[in-house]
Amino acid sequence: MPVPVHTPRINNNDDFVRVAHWYVAPGSPVRRGDPLTDLETDKATFTVEAERDGYLLGCATEIGQSVAVGSTLAWIGDSADEQLPAAAGTTPGAAGGDRAPTLKAALLLARYGLTAAEVPVAGERLGVADIERHVASCPAAGSKPAPSRAEPAQAPTEGGREVELTRSEHGMLRTVLWQKEAVPAYLEMSYDPHSWDEYAADFQRQHRLLLNPLLALLAWRLAGIAAGQPGINATLTGQRKHVYDHVNVGFTVQSGASLYAVVVREAERMGMLDFVRKLGDLQRSAMRGALRPEDVSGATIGFSSMARWAVTRHMPILLPQTALMIAHAAPTGGVASLGATYDHRLLHGADVVGTLRALAVPPGKE
C-alpha cells in the first residue's frame, strides 16, 4: 500500500516551502534513508529522506514550486507501477498567487540592480530564468553582465566507479555549497581556559551531571551573546540583512562516521540547565540515529569543537544561512584558543573579536 511523503515544517514561521531539487525520478527504487528532495525557505534548506524501502510514486517534478507544509510531496509504494489511492493527489499544494522572488532570484535581482516589479514572470513565482530572460531581451535592464552558468564538474580521467553519497555526506555537501554564497573569513584569539574549566566543574557538581558540561555551557553563553548582539545572529538576503527572531544554536556532533549539526531552537529563552539537558538529548538522539528533521534544521549561529581529539586549531565552515561559527579547540601549555569563521559580507573583525572576548569569560566573571 502506498505511503505518503509529507512536506515537513522547516521553520516555525513558514507555511510554504520550495522544491529545490529531486534526487529520485518517479518509478525509481529507494531505500530507507535515501535523499528524495531538497526543500528550501529563505532561511534554510532541508533534505527529505525516504522513511521506508520501495518505489517513488507521483512526485512533483517542477523545481521551484511552492508546497504547503503538511501536504503530500509524493508516495512510496511496493512496486513501480502501484496505483495511488483514489483520493490521493500527486501534486503538492502550491502557494497560490505567490509571485515573490525565490531566494536565488532575489540575489540575482540585487546583482543587476533590478526590482521584482520590473521583471515579467512566466510562472507562479519570479525565478532566475525570468530574470535572465528579461536581461537578455533588454540588455539595458541590467547594469552588470549576466552571470555565467557554472560549468559541470570535469569527469575523472582515471578509471573508477560511481558511488552514491551517504546521508551524512549529502548533509555535508549542502553545508559546503553554502560557501559559494558566503564570503568566509577566520580569526582566533588566545584565552586562559581555567576559569571556564572551574565554572563547568562547579556546575557539574551542583547538578550532579554525569558528563562535563563545558561545551554545552559555552554554546549557551554564545546564545546569550547573540541575543544581546543580534547582528551576529543574521544572514544576508540580496543586499539586506536578515536578523533572526530567535537564536537557534547549531552544534556539531560526531556519531561514528556521521557528522551532524543538531539545533537547539530558541536557545535565548533557556536557562543553562535546560540548555545543557536539551543539547544532551539531541546528542543522544544523534548517537542512536534517531534525529528528526526539526532537530537538524534552522540553525542561525554555530558552535564546533574538536577538543576531544586534542586538536589545538581548526577552521570550521559556516552552516547554511548563518554568519558566525565558533571554533573551540583543546588547550596546549595551559593556553587555549577560540576561533570563529564568519561571513565577511555582514561581519568584520572587530565584531567577531568582541564576541570571542565575551565568550572567553564565564557568566558572572565579566
DSSP string, 243-300: E-SS--EEEEEEETTEEEEEEETTGGG--HHHHHHHHHHHHHHHHHT---GGGSS--S
pLDDT at 89 over 50: no
Spatial contact of 208 and 227, defined as CB atoms under 8 Å apart: no
- Residue of 325, 303, 345 whose CA lies nearest to 214: 303
pLDDT tens column, 251-262: 999 988 888 999
The pLDDT of residue 100 is: 60
Average pLDDT, integer, range 297-301: 93
Calpha distance 202→210 (Å, rounded): 13
Q: What is the pTM of this model?
A: 0.63
What is the pairing mode between strands 301-305 and 249-255? Answer: parallel
The pLDDT of residue 238 is: 73
Spatial contact of 2 and 88, defined as CB atoms under 8 Å apart: yes
pLDDT tens column, 163-183: 777 767 777 777 787 777 889
Average pLDDT, integer, range 86-94: 44
The pLDDT of residue 293 is: 81
Torsion of CA 212, 215, 217, 223, to 10 degrees: -160
pLDDT at 101 over 70: no
Calpha distance 84→58 (Å, rounded): 8
Q: Which residues contact 334 (CB under 8 A, 6 or more apart)?
A: 192, 194
pLDDT at 338 over 90: yes
The pLDDT of residue 197 is: 96
Average pLDDT, integer, range 7-16: 74
Most confident of 39-53, 81-95, 309-323: 309-323
- H helices of the chain, in order, are 103-112, 128-137, 167-177, 194-207, 214-228, 272-288, 349-359
Residue with cell 572567553: 360
The pLDDT of residue 31 is: 87
Calpha distance 258→166 (Å, rounded): 9
pLDDT at 65 over 70: yes
When mean pLDDT is compared across 32-41, 81-90, 227-236, 278-287, the lowest value belongs to: 81-90
Average pLDDT, integer, range 54-71: 75
- Residue of 181, 175, 235, 238 whose CA lies nearest to 47: 175
**Dihedral sign, CA of 362, 364, 365, 366?**
positive
In the chain the domains, ranked by start, together with CATH numbers, are 3-77 (2.40.50.100), 103-141 (no CATH), 168-359 (3.30.559.10)
In the chain, the N- to C-terminal Cα span, in Å, equals 61
When mean pLDDT is compared across 20-29, 149-158, 163-172, the lowest value belongs to: 149-158
Query: pLDDT over 70 for what percent of the chain?
Result: 82
